[in-house]
């Protein structure tokens, strides 16, 4: 069942249509360890599946008896299968990461805004994807969608991680690197034995990325400090702030504009976001403790 969430706040983008608002049961079909503290779960529906999420949207995952957590969709499989990539940071995410094959979880959603990669607005534009750490999770389905549609613009994927061991989807990044239609660059904060790649900030990778700033859309996700640096770097290169799309993280509870946990000034990140233009979020993030 889908319902439209409360009327849009003045000055905010159009709010998304909220997905299923009570949990559907999904079963863990596959569990893969990405890094020592990050796991990817493939979830297959036991009930009617939730409406198909768009790249950038999130769901509320409910390991029964623990609590709910907002988790992005990191991939979509056949038959309504959802992929989620989760870092264990507290009780709920630890419970999710500990789920084994066959375990059952509740899923509400999908919620929020998306990257807009299905829009014809992107035709002919270059796209620069900038991911820090687990920020690659919500960006991965956007890259899949962009690779699957005819576009004349160039596509760059820039990825940063703390260390080589913290890189998620390392095999897939390797496959992407071998493609001729994609520029991929990866960097780490701290190298390790055997790492012969770049060391430094993900924003350092912008200089070698092939894009025309006047005709570019950027998709950015990662820790807030990294997103600020990336957005400023893109702006300095000449990309319009309206064309820099950032995915924000705020504490979520209801995900349907009822509780106010996710409020950021006039915005409710669960419905107006998580993906918002840098032009909208920059003034709000500049206000301390908003
Ligand atoms: C739109 C959205 C998409 C997200 N996608 C993913 C994802 O794909 N994978 C993933 O692992 N996590 C994702 N998160 C973060 C995830 O929701 C939190 O890590 C989770 O709710 C923490 O719950 P917990 O009970 O495990 O830990 P808690 O005990 O609630 O928190 C542990 C620590 O994390 C901090 N924290 C909790 N929630 C957030 C948050 N939303 N932002 C910043 N800090 C927080 C707390 O302050 C505390 O320090 C997303 C969050 C949002 C808002
Ligand atoms: S989580 Fe956004 S209002 Fe409740």
**Which residue from 21, 60, 255 has its CB within 8 A of the most atoms of ligand 2, so it is best to mutate?**
255
pLDDT at 15 over 80: no
Residue 92 near ligand 1, beta carbon < 6 Å: yes
The 3-class secondary structure across the chain, one letter per residue, is CCEECCCCCCCCCCCCEECEEEEEEEEEEEEEEEECCEEEEEEEECCCCCCCCCCCCEEEEECCCCCCEEEECCEECHHHCEEEEEECCCHHHHHHHCCCCCCEEEEEEEECCCCCCCCHHHCCCEEEEEEEHHHHHHHHHHHHHHHCCCCCCCEEEEEEECCHHHCCCHHHHHHHHCCCCCEEEEEECCCCCCCCCEECCHHHHHHHCCCCHHHEEEEEECCHHHHHHHHHHHHHHCCCHHHEEEECCCCCCCCCCCCCCCEECCEECCCCCCEEEHHHHHHHHCCCCC
pLDDT at 7 over 50: no
CB atoms within 10 A of CB 147: 14
Residue 262 near ligand 2, beta carbon < 6 Å: yes
Q: Which atom of ligand 1 is closest in space to residue 274's alpha carbon?
A: 1
CA of 259, nearest ligand number: 2
> Hunting for tokens 């979020």 — which residue is that?
281
Domain boundary assignment for the chain: 3-111, 120-285
Residue 69 near ligand 1, beta carbon < 6 Å: yes
Which pLDDT band holds residue 222 (cuts at 50, 70, 90)? very high
Residue 181 C-alpha to ligand 2 middle, in angstroms?
39
Residue 271 C-alpha to ligand 2 middle, in angstroms?
8
Give, using CA atoms, the residue closest to atom 47 of ligand 1.
Answer: 251
pLDDT at 286 over 90: no
Residue % of the chain over a pLDDT of 90: 83
For residue 90, give both structure tokens.
């507290």
Q: Which CATH superfamily is domain 3-111 in?
A: Translation factors (2.40.30.10)
Average pLDDT over residues 52-63: 97
- Using CA atoms, how far apart are residues 133 and 161, in angstroms rounded to an integer? 5
The mean predicted confidence, pLDDT, of the chain is 91
Contact 91, 63 (CB under 8 A): no
Q: What is the pLDDT of residues 104-157, one digit of tens each?
A: 999 999 999 999 999 988 989 999 999 999 999 999 999 999 998 877 799 999
Which pLDDT band holds residue 3 (cuts at 50, 70, 90)? very low
Average pLDDT over residues 201-211: 95
CA of 68, nearest ligand number: 1
CATH class of segment(s) 120-285: alpha beta
Average pLDDT over residues 45-63: 96
Residue 143 near ligand 1, beta carbon < 6 Å: no
Residue 93 near ligand 1, beta carbon < 6 Å: yes
Residue 137 near ligand 1, beta carbon < 6 Å: yes
Residue 260 near ligand 2, beta carbon < 6 Å: yes
Q: What is the pLDDT of residues 75-102, one digit of tens each?
A: 998 888 999 999 999 999 999 999 999 9
């Amino acid at each position: 069942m889908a319902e439209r969430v409360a009327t849009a706040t003045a000055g905010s983008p159009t709010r998304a249509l909220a997905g299923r608002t009570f949990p559907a049961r999904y079963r863990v079909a596959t569990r893969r360890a990405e890094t020592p503290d990050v796991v990817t779960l493939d979830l297959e529906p036991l009930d009617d599946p939730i409406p198909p999420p768009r790249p950038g949207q999130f769901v509320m995952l409910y390991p029964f008896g623990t609590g709910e957590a907002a988790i992005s969709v990191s991939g979509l499989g056949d038959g309504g299968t959802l992929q989620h990539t989760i870092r264990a940071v507290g009780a709920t995410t630890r419970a999710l990461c500990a789920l084994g094959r066959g375990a059952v979880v509740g899923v509400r959603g999908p919620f929020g805004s998306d990257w807009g990669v299905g829009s014809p607005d992107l035709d002919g534009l270059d796209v620069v994807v900038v991911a820090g750490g687990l920020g690659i999770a919500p960006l991965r389905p956007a890259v899949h969608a962009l690779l699957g549609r005819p576009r004349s613009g160039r596509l760059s994927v820039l990825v940063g991680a703390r260390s080589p061991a913290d890189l998620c989807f390392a095999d897939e990044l390797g496959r992407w690197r071998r493609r001729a239609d994609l520029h991929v660059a990866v960097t780490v904060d701290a190298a390790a034995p055997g790492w012969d790649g770049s060391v430094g900030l993900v924003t350092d990778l912008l200089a070698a990325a092939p894009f025309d700033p006047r005709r570019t859309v950027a998709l950015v996700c990662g820790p807030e400090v990294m997103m600020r640096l990336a957005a400023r770097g893109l702006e300095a290169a000449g990309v319009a702030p309206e064309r820099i799309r950032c995915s924000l993280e705020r504490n979520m509870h209801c995900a349907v504009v009822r509780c106010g946990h996710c409020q950021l000034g006039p915005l409710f990140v669960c419905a107006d976001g998580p993906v918002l233009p840098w032009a909208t979020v920059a003034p709000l993030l500049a206000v301390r403790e908003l």
